[in-house]
Amino acid sequence: MDNLNYGIIGNCRSAALISYKGSLDWCCLPEFDSTSVFAKLLDENKGGSFEIVPQGDYTIHQEYYKNTAVLVTRFTEGTNIFEFHDFMPRHHKMNGKYKAPPEIIRYVKYISGNPKFAVKYDPRLEYGIGETSHFVKKDFIASLTHEMKYDTLFLYTSFNKNKVLQGEVLTLKEDGYFLICYNEKIFKPTTEKMALELERTRVYWLDWVDKTPTYKKFNEQIIRSAITLKMLTYDKTGAVLAAATTSLPETIGEVRNWDYRFCWIRDASMAIKVVSELGHKNSAKRFLQFIIDLMPDKDEKLQIMYGINKEKTLTEKSLDHLDGYKGSKPVRIGNAAYMQKQNDIYGILMDVIYAQILSFSNDIENIEELWSITKGIVWIVNKHWQEPDKGIWEFRGEDRHFTFSKVLCWVAIDRAIKVARMFGKTHKIEKWVALEQEIKRDIHEKAWNSDVNAFVQSYGSRHLDASVLLMESYGFIHARDPKFVSTVRAVEEGLSNDGLLYRYKNEDDFGLPSSSFTICTFWFINSLFRIGEEEKALAHFERLLSYSNHLGLFSEDIDFKTKRLLGNFPQAYSHLALIECAINFSNKDREDRIMESIS
């Protein structure tokens, strides 16, 4: 089954996807949100790829070099064995910064025998809009296009360049390499230098993982998810991407196809909170600076999302020349959701600010700016919390009073009060407490539906929504509160399909949802765990883990019937929620749970 069987490689500047057969099918250079140079993922014929064609009946096995972002694809035919070690270079420089060039290294490791293979090197620059021409030069193969916009790509290799470009058979007798560069190299690469880049990159990731705590259970899954989240961070600004791709459909053949190569404040804040809880405070500091830089004016309202270089305008358009993943059109670049109003982002952001101050109170920069942002968020929430919005799921129809948005407005004020107390700024607390209590009363009165016996999607609605499960984890309600327990039961009955959850089942702007939103199932598992149904939660969790692809990676959605992965990939949302679930199961011993239940 096609299960998005891709591995991601990256260096916190860009990323690439490589199939389980070793084909490089997606990459944008020089940065995550640049135009693609390989996009077979979105069009089999026009997208472009870099494929490996072994000559013989080879078996193929793929896995990550343990605790790294180096992907190893092993080809075996009897004694004829070779490997491709794929990675994007990332390692420390002498000045304390990182080397992370817009490059992909495909290091070819000779193992034994007399292996033979060909390659299909076929980059299609600028999303394949115009023709890409290839030229063999003395030191490299140059690929260029100038029909829509001038752009170039360079391939350096230890193999015969003409044979590579013509797809002729190559006989492997020793290690070799392919180096794909956005920029022409000043110093000529060699196999030895590429081997050194491989070792340096492996050491970088091994060191990074070494700073992550070890957990009793699911440690391997936590590490793989943490590395994946790290690869979705953009070093230059501190932004965190929702995913590395655009337009992978929520359902095959439908139009729910979006560009996720941007920084959603909600997704990024949740991801950063998890990464910082794993001990990686530098990522948290860079993200907080990203936010500070976006809010130069004290009364400036946050957008729900930005470009990774802090762009505020993310105009959406379709690439009509591309067929889309499995024929799912349109292929979109840009995202019109940036214009939406979503009141929940202030609570999400305030929660991560509070968490960082709590964790790193003696080692946090820009403390005055964070206090100014805190006061600004309270001012904005006070002014706008009673207004309807588009909600967490970005409905493109009319605004509503979404329960999740209201709860997160409460979170914003709750965390602001906590921050004020930590800073000794008590003169504002009385007014803020009154506002907090007003919002809480409003939610209990208007979001609770006694007929459904649950908190519902929006005020006056009967529709269930998985996002209300987060009320407990944000501290709005206790896990053992009868209202929350009955909400979990109602969500299970109304939204669960063979253990996988719908976000909601009511019709939206594009019809009825037909796939499971992966993070919602993780939320549900966490909720079961918190209300005391731990064995049931664990069974659901282990079953959900079995739906990952061959490398333990998750996309945004899962098909209810086939259990295939759908949606953009890999998805930060899914992996941050996986980590939260896994840590719950790993860390909580019996005494902890008993104390929690009586607190």
**Which residue spans within 380-515 are E strands per DSSP?**
448-449, 454-455, 496-497, 500-501
3-state helix vs strand vs coil in the chain, percent to 5: 35, 20, 40
Q: What 3-state DSSP class applies to 588?
A: coil
Q: Could you give phi then psi for residue 384, rounded to 5 degrees?
A: -120, -5
The sign one gets for the Cα dihedral 477, 370, 213, 225 is positive
Are 14 and 181 in contact by the 8 Å Cβ rule? The answer is: no
How far is it, in rounded angstroms, from Cα 293 to Cα 309?
11
CB-based contact 308:263 (threshold 8 Å): yes
Structure tokens at 309: 């270089």
Model pLDDT for residues 288-308, shown as the tens digit of each residue:
889 888 876 656 678 989 999
Residue with tokens 């830089």: 293
Nearest Cα residue to 212 out of 201, 200, 228, 227: 227
Instruction: Check residue 16 and give left, alpha or beta (phi > 0: left; psi -120 to 50: alpha).
Output: beta
Ramachandran region, residue 256 (left: φ > 0; alpha: ψ -120 to 50; beta: rest): beta
Q: Tell me the β-bridge partners of 332.
A: 318
118 three-state secondary structure: strand
pLDDT tens digits along 208-261: 999 999 999 999 999 999 999 999 999 999 999 999 999 999 989 888 899 999
Give residue 341's pLDDT.
84
- Say which residue the tokens 């992370």 belong to: 100
Residues with Cβ within 8 Å of residue 584, at least 6 apart in sequence: 526, 529
DSSP state of 77: E
Can the peptide bond before residue 30 be classed as cis, meaning omega within 30 degrees of 0? Answer: yes
C-alpha to C-alpha distance for 131 and 215, rounded to whole angstroms? 51
What pLDDT score was predicted for residue 363?
63
For 591, other C-beta atoms within 10 Å of its C-beta total 8
- Residue 51 tokens read as 């494929």
Pairing mode of beta strands 332-333, 448-449: unpaired
Whole-structure pTM value? 0.94
For residue 508, give both structure tokens.
Answer: 């939206």
At CB < 8 A and 24+ separation, what contacts does 428-433 make? 428/375, 428/378, 432/378
Render 174-197 in DSSP notation, one character per residue.
S-EEEEEESS--SS---HHHHHHH
What is the number of other CB atoms lying within 10 angstroms of the CB of residue 581? 25
* Among 406, 383, 538, residue whose Cα is nearest residue 467: 406
pLDDT tens by residue, the chain, 599 residues: 688 999 999 999 999 999 999 999 999 999 999 999 999 999 999 999 999 999 999 999 999 999 999 999 999 999 999 999 999 999 998 887 899 999 999 999 999 999 999 999 999 999 999 899 999 999 999 999 987 789 999 999 999 999 999 999 999 999 999 999 999 999 999 999 999 999 999 999 999 999 999 999 999 999 999 999 999 999 999 999 999 999 999 989 888 899 999 999 999 999 988 998 898 888 888 898 898 888 766 566 789 899 999 999 999 999 999 999 999 999 999 999 898 888 999 999 999 889 888 876 656 667 888 888 899 999 999 999 999 999 898 776 788 999 999 999 999 999 999 999 998 998 889 999 999 999 999 999 999 999 999 999 999 999 999 999 999 999 999 999 999 999 999 999 999 999 999 999 887 665 677 789 999 999 999 999 999 999 999 999 999 999 999 999 999 999 999 999 999 999 999 999 999 999 999 876 433 444 444 33
- What is the predicted pLDDT for the residue at 486? 98
DSSP SS3 for 89: coil
C-alpha dihedral sign at 508, 511, 468, 252: negative
What are the residues whose beta carbons fall under 8 Å from the beta carbon of 307, sequence distance 6 or more?
Answer: 33, 239, 262, 263, 314
DSSP secondary structure code for residue 214 in this structure: P
What is the CB neighbour count within 10 angstroms for residue 177?
24
What is residue 358's DSSP assignment? H
Using CA atoms, how far residue 527 sits from 112, 121, 248, 456, in Å, is 51, 48, 29, 16
SS3 558: strand
Report d(CA 217, CA 582) in Å as an integer: 7
The SS3 of residue 109 is strand
Phi and psi at residue 202, in whole multiples of 5°? Answer: -60, -45
Buried b (16+ CB within 10 A) or exposed e, 45-63: ebbbbbbbbbeeebeeebe
Half-sphere exposure in the Cβ direction for 297 (13 Å, CA): 5
With beta carbons less than 8 A apart as the criterion, state whether 60 and 168 touch. no
